[in-house]
């Protein structure tokens, strides 16, 4: 038999919940029960992956300390993760014993919260224990209290070993209503993998960046009547092109924000524009997307952009001066 203990407190010195758990663990280990203790505050960055630890357990103990108002946030995060990523079939077979110790008020409400949550998940709730502790030392030295704690552990062992029947709870109906129209039915393996992704901050950040880039792409398409930025730029050069007799040149423009450079291949009265890699162009230009938009919009010239340092150029500078003649964006008449 294996029982997992999930502790949702802060792990501070003097927390009587830790004392209760240590006594329960000692009794269960004497009964040859394998115990796995998981402190949620130590796993706060990957709580979403913890529902997978339920898969090899026969029962669990959910323990928390009420220090102000209600259970701590780590326990709620864990229960949320069980709802989102837990294997519901496995949860339906698990017995749960709630343990709530309060230093202020609300220990019984805390037990009720854990039982209701576990019932809603479809699991089996056992009788747990709750207590208000004002003096942790006096509480731990009280042998009668210790006996109650040990009996709670023994009853949990009996309940699991006998596979005691738990009467249905109305809160289980909530699970049926909420999940009735679930659009996606993940397998346990897919759900576990999804929980790992959800706890991976680097993966989540990458997904956010990809979504942002995708949103920007579609925004551009809407702005440009369905054309990509590359197509809009090529059309701008085609409209501005003015043929020059006996003139040939290849311009390669490396534009910040574009994966491939723009190649302008001018051949007398015709030219081609394409985004591709090309070796040994006559002129190599490096320019920002914003500056190139100013040039194609007629607000700037290639020569002025070069002179002001907004465009870096390498190659035949005589060919550079011809750019404004072949593509006079400021004068398209």
Residues 166 and 251 grouped into a single domain: no
Q: Are residues 194 and 233 in the same domain?
A: no
Are residues 166 and 246 both part of a single domain?
Answer: no
Domain range for 248 is 229-326
Pair 143, 247 in one domain: no
Tell me: do 138 and 272 sit in the same domain.
no
Task: Please check whether residues 49 and 99 belong to one and the same domain.
Answer: yes
| CATH number of the structural domain spanning residue 107 | 3.40.50.360
For 23-57, give one letter per residue: b (16+ CB within 10 A) or e.
bbbebbeeeebebeebbbeebeeebbbbbbebeeb
Residue 215 within a domain:
no
Examine the fold and report which residue of 147, 180, 198 is the final residue of a domain before the chain moves on: 198
Residue 205 belongs to some domain of the structure: no
**Does a structural domain hold residue 295?**
yes
CATH number where 301 lies: 3.30.1050.10
Same domain, yes or no, for 137 and 275? no
* pTM, full prediction: 0.58
End-to-end CA distance of the chain: 87
177 and 267 housed in the same domain: no
Q: Are residues 153 and 283 in the same domain?
A: no
Task: Note whether 166 and 252 are same-domain residues.
Answer: no
Helices (H) and strands (E) in the chain, counts: 13, 11
Same domain for 7 and 77, yes or no, is yes
Q: What is the DSSP letter of 67?
A: S
Tens-level pLDDT at each residue, the chain (333 residues): 999 999 999 999 889 999 999 999 999 999 999 999 999 999 988 899 899 999 999 999 999 999 988 898 999 999 999 998 899 899 999 999 999 999 999 999 999 999 999 999 999 999 999 999 999 999 999 999 999 999 999 999 999 999 988 887 776 665 555 554 454 556 666 666 666 666 666 766 777 777 776 666 556 545 556 677 888 889 889 999 999 888 999 999 999 888 899 999 999 889 899 999 988 899 999 999 899 989 998 899 999 999 999 999 999 888 888 999 999 987 644
Inter-residue contact 1 to 126 (CB < 8 Å) = no
Residue 110 belongs to a domain: yes
Count of domains for the chain: 2
Has residue 222 been placed in a domain? no
Same domain? For 93 and 160 the reply is yes
CA distances from 129 to 17, 28, 132, 156 (A): 11, 16, 11, 11
């Amino acid at each position: 038999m294996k029982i997992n203990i999930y502790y949702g407190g802060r792990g501070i010195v003097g927390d009587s919940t830790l004392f209760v758990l240590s006594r329960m663990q000692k009794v269960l280990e004497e009964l040859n029960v394998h115990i796995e203790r998981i402190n949620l505050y130590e796993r706060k960055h990957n709580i979403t992956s913890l529902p997978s630890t339920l898969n090899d357990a026969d029962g669990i103990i959910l323990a928390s300390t009420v220090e102000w108002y209600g259970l701590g946030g780590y326990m709620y995060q864990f229960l949320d993760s069980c709802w989102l990523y837990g294997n519901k079939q496995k949860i339906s077979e698990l017995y749960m014993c709630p343990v709530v110790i309060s230093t202020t008020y609300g220990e019984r409400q805390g037990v009720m919260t854990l039982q209701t949550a576990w019932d809603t998940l479809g699991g089996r709730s056992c009788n747990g224990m709750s207590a208000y502790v004002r003096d942790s030392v006096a509480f731990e030295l009280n042998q009668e209290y210790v006996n109650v704690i040990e009996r709670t552990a023994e009853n949990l062992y009996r309940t699991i070993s006998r596979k005691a029947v738990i009467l249905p709870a109305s809160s289980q109906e909530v699970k049926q209503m909420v999940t009735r129209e679930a659009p996606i039915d993940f397998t346990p393996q897919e759900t576990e993998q999804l929980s790992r992704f959800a706890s991976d901050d680097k993966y989540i950040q990458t997904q956010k960046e990809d979504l942002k880039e995708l949103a920007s792409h579609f925004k551009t398409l809407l702005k440009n009547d369905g054309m990509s930025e590359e197509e809009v730029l090529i059309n701008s050069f085609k409209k501005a092109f003015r043929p020059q007799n006996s003139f040939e040149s290849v311009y390669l423009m490396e534009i910040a924000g574009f994966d491939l450079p723009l190649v302008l291949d001018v051949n007398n009265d015709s030219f081609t524009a394409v985004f591709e890699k090309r070796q040994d162009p006559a002129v190599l230009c490096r320019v920002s997307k914003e500056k190139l938009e100013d040039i194609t919009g007629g607000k700037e010239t290639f020569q002025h952009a070069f002179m002001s340092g907004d465009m870096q150029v390498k190659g035949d500078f005589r060919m550079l001066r011809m750019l404004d003649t072949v593509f006079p964006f400021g004068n398209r008449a």
